[in-house]
Amino acid sequence: MVNGFMPLSLKEALDIRSAHEVIPYGGGTDLMIQGNTDDCYLFLNRIPEMKKIYEDETYLRIGGSSTFTEVLASPLVPKLMKEAVSRIAAPAIRNAGTMAGNIGNGSAKADSVLIAYVADAKLRLLSAKGERIVPIAEFYKGRKQLDLGSDELIVEILLPRHGLENYYYKKVGGRKALAISRISFAGVIQIEQGVIRHLAVAFGAVADTVLRFPELEKIFEGKTLAEAHEERRSFVETYAQQLHLTKGRVSAEYRKEVCMNLLQDFLDVKGI
Ligand SMILES: Cc1cc2nc3c(=O)[nH]c(=O)nc-3n(C[C@H](O)[C@H](O)[C@H](O)COP(=O)(O)OP(=O)(O)OC[C@H]3O[C@@H](n4cnc5c(N)ncnc54)[C@H](O)[C@@H]3O)c2cc1C
């Protein structure tokens, strides 16, 4: 017998969250495995406000209770996010697992989180007291450490509406099917009239949180592809110095080599 509340509106959910000690429950694909029968759950899959995927002037807003299958079916979700989500587990997990659950699970292996990082996504957190908008990189304080109050819920994931079109994504798993990432990599680049306006690179599953180095990314900004190519060697060397891998079953040296190969391949493919 599972204990819990099943609210039918966001307000009801937030009131319960602030009044009771409950564990938010999306699709349960992580929580079910933990299977602690004493816990009291707040089931979030019947809340219409948390299942919407829509655009406003600034963001694409993905409701936290949207399942991976729903994300894949939405014409609004960028191809990069869909590619990562389509690689999560198998259909049964994708039918139940949710976007907020992927984030709330707190793992640097979570496939949608890698994309949220490289996209500079923000999270809309709500409690009965009000709203907070938190950049994804600030939300993760460390392994399983989240900037989430005991009365808050992840209600929406806010993605920029543009800028993710020119991307590179690779997930290197242990097995072909049902592979949780051993190393994942995403890069995006925006080029206008031959000049690099923006570049972002994120590494997943290699440390306590997804890794990104915004200062290094800026090195190429404002440069032509040819100018960036001139600086490529020092760019790559600086990454090699900064990348400290702490997690994984396979040796850190091997995984670092894979990370550097993925970075180099991204640069090759994008003409740098
Ligand atoms: C066989 C198998 C294969 C898997 N493969 C992958 C894979 O390839 N890639 C991958 O990324 N993951 C994988 N996973 C992990 C899991 O499916 C995902 O992390 C999924 O997104 C979890 O979502 P959920 O809705 O089921 O989360 P739940 O299990 O419901 O919750 C997970 C955590 O998030 C919290 N939470 C849920 N919703 C909210 C909310 N709205 N606000 C605040 N906190 C919330 C919960 O309290 C809990 O701590 C796999 C799992 C299994 C069992």
Give the start-to-end residue ranges of the domains of the chain. 47-160, 167-269
pLDDT above 90 coverage of the chain, percent: 88
pLDDT at position 118 over 90: yes
Mean pLDDT across the chain: 94
* pLDDT grade for 158, boundaries at 50, 70 and 90: very high
How do residues 202-252 score in pLDDT, each as one tens digit? 999 999 999 999 999 999 999 999 999 999 999 999 999 999 888 666 688
**Residue 174: per-residue pLDDT:** 58
Q: Does ligand 1 come within 6 angstroms of the Cβ of 7?
A: no
Within the chain, strands assigned E span: 3-5, 23-25, 40-43, 53-55, 59-63, 122-127, 130-135, 140-142, 145-146, 153-160, 167-173, 181-192, 195-204, 211-212
**Distance of alpha carbon 251 from the chain centroid:** 24
The answer to whether 74 touches 36, Cβ cutoff 8 Å, is no
Q: Does any ligand 1 atom lie closer than 6 A to the CB of residue 40? A: no
Report percent pLDDT > 70 for the chain: 95
Q: Is the pLDDT of residue 97 over 90?
A: yes
For ligand 1, mutation pick of 65, 93, 154 (most atoms within 8 Å of CB)? 93
Flag whether pLDDT at 101 surpasses 70.
Answer: yes
Check pLDDT > 80 for residue 199. yes
Please report where in the chains the tokens 């995927």 appear, as a residue.
53
Q: Is the pLDDT of residue 176 over 80?
A: no
The rounded Å distance from CA 130 to ligand 1 centre is 25
Q: Which of 25, 36, 123 to mutate to test the pocket of ligand 1 (most atoms within 8 A of CB)?
A: 25
Tens-place pLDDT, residues 37-88: 789 999 999 999 999 999 999 999 999 999 999 999 999 999 999 999 999 9
CB 210 within 8 A of CB 141: no
Atom of ligand 1 nearest to the CA of 173: 8
Protein residue closest via CA to atom 9 of ligand 1: 88
> CATH number of 47-160: 3.30.360.10, 3.40.47.10, 3.30.465.10, 3.40.50.2300?
3.30.465.10
Task: Please answer whether residues 89 and 171 qualify as being in contact, where contact means their C-beta atoms are separated by less than 8 angstroms.
Answer: no
DSSP 180: P
Q: Is the CB of 156 under 6 A from ligand 1?
A: no
Evaluate: CB of 84 within 6 angstroms of ligand 1.
no
In the CATH scheme, what architecture does the domain 167-269 have?
2-Layer Sandwich (3.30)
Measured CA distances, 32 to 28, 39, 222, 230 (Å):
5, 11, 48, 51
Provide the token pair at 228.
């960036």
Q: Is the pTM here over 0.85, yes or no?
A: yes
